[in-house]
Amino acid sequence: MDINKHIVDQRINKIVKDNPEWFESDNDYNKKLSKAFLILGVASYLDFELKDVLPLITEDGNDCGIDAIYIGDVSETEFTVILFQSKYKFDLENDSNFPANSIIRVIDAVKGIFDPSRDLLTNNVIKPKITEIQSLLLDGNIPNIICVLMNNGDSWNEEGNIHIKNANFGDQVVFEHYNHKKIVEHITKAKPVSDTISISGKGIVEEFNFKRVLIGKISVKEIVRLANNHGDSLFEKNIRKYLGINKNRVNEAIRSTLVDDEKKNNFFFYNNGITMVCTKFSYNALASENWIIKVEDMQIINGGQTCKTIQETINNNPDIDYSQVYVLLRLYEVYPYNDDDVITDITIATNSQNPVDLRDLKANEELQRKLEMSVKGLGFTYKRKREGVSSTDAIPSSVAAEAVCAIWRRKPHVAKYKRNELFGKFYNDIFNNLNAAQLVLAVLIFRYCDNQRKKMPIDGLNSHIPYSNYFMAMKLGDLLLNEMGVELKDLTHSNFDKARRTFENKKGELYREANQFIIEALKKYYNEEDYSNIDPRRLAAIFRRGDFMLKLNSVKE
């Protein structure tokens, strides 16, 4: 018996039971379970809350064989698109491979979605996402595509590999298998990683400020051993996921150096090195060099990209001699003193090679702790940190940042298309002078508008709805404050219940009014009464630009 299958089956049954409104269109219980598995799998893979996966779901008739789509931010003219296809087997006692014929459908979908010249027969859920992707392509952006094939069984067989090889996608499209075992790994806490590390040559150990640090050089083969033995548990506190060799210029440069016979032995001088924290390290101080370090509760907090690229490159090139290839190691013993702030500062200071996700690093700030406490006082749960798949009613700080940025800070285009910077460049603008009532109400508005986006007809002058929900949320927020007769600064815990009641009672009316504002602004933007025949890719592009705000602000109430 595979216990992981039963854990996942139990979890998806609970998802169906707790959230019947998510499955209203499915009369068959097995179809509900299949959809719940898709939601759980996507949430696990992307590290999202369950509720925040719903906008990504595209599963329906004419879905091109794609069950969910995630579109990442544009960074230096590149953007990541993750396509999901899910298969759930109800016989938990037998293993089966991911079907090879389903891989063919995904391959055909990639060829169609990423070719703006091709017409596709699609449903109304996936069509706007394809339009957004093709709009980004027409702007000259380059996609990096990951196809995640999920099931509660084994990976595809050799026939599937042949289909992928014959597709001739090259490095731009990667196929990954994600199953019930990986889901369970994600939703359970990782065990502490303890191991020994071999330092090559001489090292330096210093003790100051009640902390210890070791600096030395470590063989890249030692890095591969650690990564192979411990997997992602070694990187639990690392602040970004592996970008892939071919998805990032820094990682490609690392790979190129490692496979170059003339350059690889100088790798130590080219790379910034690896930063690791632990609760304790010990070694034989009587030895002058080549120490064997015993490390307890180790975590790599910087250099995860380097480690993963080293691991992948060396595993793929077993015939190359790496015996004289080293990388710099900085090992900090800080955890016995529960010094989270030090680890946060080290992580921020040393992560410079790639853009970083700062959400978890901001989580321990006093401002975030106060928001968590205040939001709880209003009857909601605010999640400062990512903690795996959790309850459906929780408000992740990432969703709060998007909602507040779009609605109260009046930057809907930033909220949608610069999500990676919301906890960086825009953090103070979003969270300073923000109280719990404003945060929760923004999220309620934000989620309502996204839910309406999937229900509203999108013909005629409503053709903007698949792309404008961040702008709609902003305008609905304006109208709600007007309805209450207050300014944003006056929205506090003392009148939160009134504000929430007003929103619940008037949200349909306010949404229709906000929609009319968007329609009038689009008429002004295009200087014509009927814009319904505008290419949807052009329409999607409007909401990536800030100049549309000028037209929207010019519409009189």
CA distances (Å), origin 350, targets 139, 236, 275, 386, 476? 33, 17, 8, 21, 41
Task: Single out the residue in 301, 324, 356 at which a domain terminates.
Answer: 356
pLDDT at 355: 42
The Cα 399–Cα 52 span in angstroms is 8
- How is residue 381 annotated by DSSP? -
For residues 167 and 280, state if they share a domain.
Answer: no
What is the token pair recorded at 253? Answer: 């440069």
Amino acid at 387: E
Burial category of 150 from C-beta neighbours within 10 Å (exposed 0-12, middle 13-18, buried 19 and up): buried
Q: How far apart are CA 475 and CA 551, in angstroms?
A: 13
Q: Are 135 and 234 found together in one domain?
A: no
Q: Which tokens go with 436?
A: 């719990």
One domain for residues 144 and 260: no
The pair of three-digit structure tokens given for residue 191, joined into one six-digit string? 């065990």
SS3 130: helix
Query: In which order are the strands placed within the sheet that holds 142-151?
Result: 68-71, 78-87, 142-151, 173-179
Nearest Cα to Cα of residue 375 among 442, 301, 447, 295: 442
* Residue finishing a domain among 312, 336, 356: 356
CA distances from residue 268 to 18, 144, 204, 215, 541 in whole angstroms, order as listed = 53, 29, 16, 13, 44
Residue labelled with tokens 């929609």: 515
Residue keyed to tokens 């900090």: 332
Task: Give the pLDDT of residue 165.
Answer: 93
What is the distance between the alpha carbons of residues 264 and 324, in angstroms, rounded to a whole number?
8
> Running DSSP on this structure, what letter comes out for residue 263?
T
Residue 151's alpha-carbon distances to 2, 41, 97, 173, in angstroms, are 14, 9, 8, 20
User: Does 130 map to a domain?
Assistant: yes
- Of the residues 154, 187, 220, the one at which a domain ends: 187
Among candidate residues 312, 185, 310, 309, the one with its CA nearest the CA of residue 236 = 185
Is the domain of 497 the same as that of 440? yes
- Identify whether 255 is part of a domain: yes
What pLDDT was estimated at residue 535? 84
Look at residue 236 in the predicted model and tell me its pLDDT.
Answer: 62
Q: Quickly count helices (H) and strands (E) in the chain.
A: 21, 14
pTM score: 0.68
Q: What is the pLDDT of residue 181?
A: 92
Q: What is the pLDDT of residue 341?
A: 58
Same structural domain, 182 and 204 = no
Segments of the chain with pLDDT less than 70: 1, 189-191, 209-210, 236-249, 335-358, 360-361, 386-393, 556-557
Note the pLDDT of residue 249: 67
Query: Do 39 and 119 fall within a single domain?
Result: yes
What does the alpha-carbon distance between residue 524 and residue 241 come to, in Å, rounded to a whole number? 43
Pair of tokens at residue 202 = 């001489």
Q: Note the pLDDT of residue 293.
A: 95
pLDDT tens digits, 360-413: 667 778 899 899 999 999 999 998 876 655 555 689 999 999 999 999 999 999
Same domain, 176 and 200: no
Same domain, 315 and 377: no
Total residues belonging to the chain = 557
Asked if residue 247 belongs to a domain, the reply is: yes
- How many CA atoms lie less than 13 Å away from 245 in the CB half-sphere? 19
SS3 448: helix
Instruction: Give me the chain's average pLDDT, please.
Output: 87
Which helix (H) or strand (E) element contains residue 293?
A: strand 292-296
Give the type of residue at 207: E
Predicted pLDDT at 342? 60
Question: Quick check: 276 and 299 in contact, CB under 8 A?
Answer: yes
| β-pair type (78-87, 142-151) | parallel
The answer on 396 and 276 residing in a single domain is no
Assess whether 338 and 452 both reside in one domain.
no
Query: What number of other Cβ atoms are within 10 A of residue 94's Cβ?
Result: 8
- Taking the C-alpha atoms of residue 148 and residue 179, their distance in angstroms, rounded to an integer, is 10
66 in a structural domain? yes
Q: Look at residue 361 and tell me if it is in a domain.
A: no
Domain containing residue 73: 3-187
* Residues forming a β-bridge with 204: 215
428-483 tens-digit pLDDT:
999 999 999 999 999 999 999 998 988 888 888 888 999 999 999 999 999 999 99
Tell me the CATH number at 166: 3.40.1350
Q: Mark residue 460 as left, alpha or beta (left: phi above 0; alpha: psi -120 to 50; beta: remaining).
A: left
Domain count, the chain: 3
Answer left, alpha or beta for residue 273, where phi above 0 means left and psi between -120 and 50 means alpha.
left
378, 500: one domain:
yes
* Cα 65 to Cα 85, 344, 414, 432, distances in angstroms: 7, 42, 31, 44
Let me know if residue 310 belongs to a domain: yes
Neighbours of 527 (CB within 10 A): 7
Query: Which of 104, 48, 35, 140 lies closest to 419 in space, CA to CA?
Result: 48
Q: Are residues 202 and 173 in the same domain?
A: no
In a domain, 55, yes or no: yes
User: Which tokens belong to 522?
Assistant: 């689009």
Read out DSSP for 132-159? HHHHHHHTT-EEEEEEEEEESSB---HH
297 vs 170: CA distance, rounded Å: 39
> Does residue 268 lie within any of the structural domains?
yes
Cβ–Cβ under 8 Å, residues 344 and 360: no
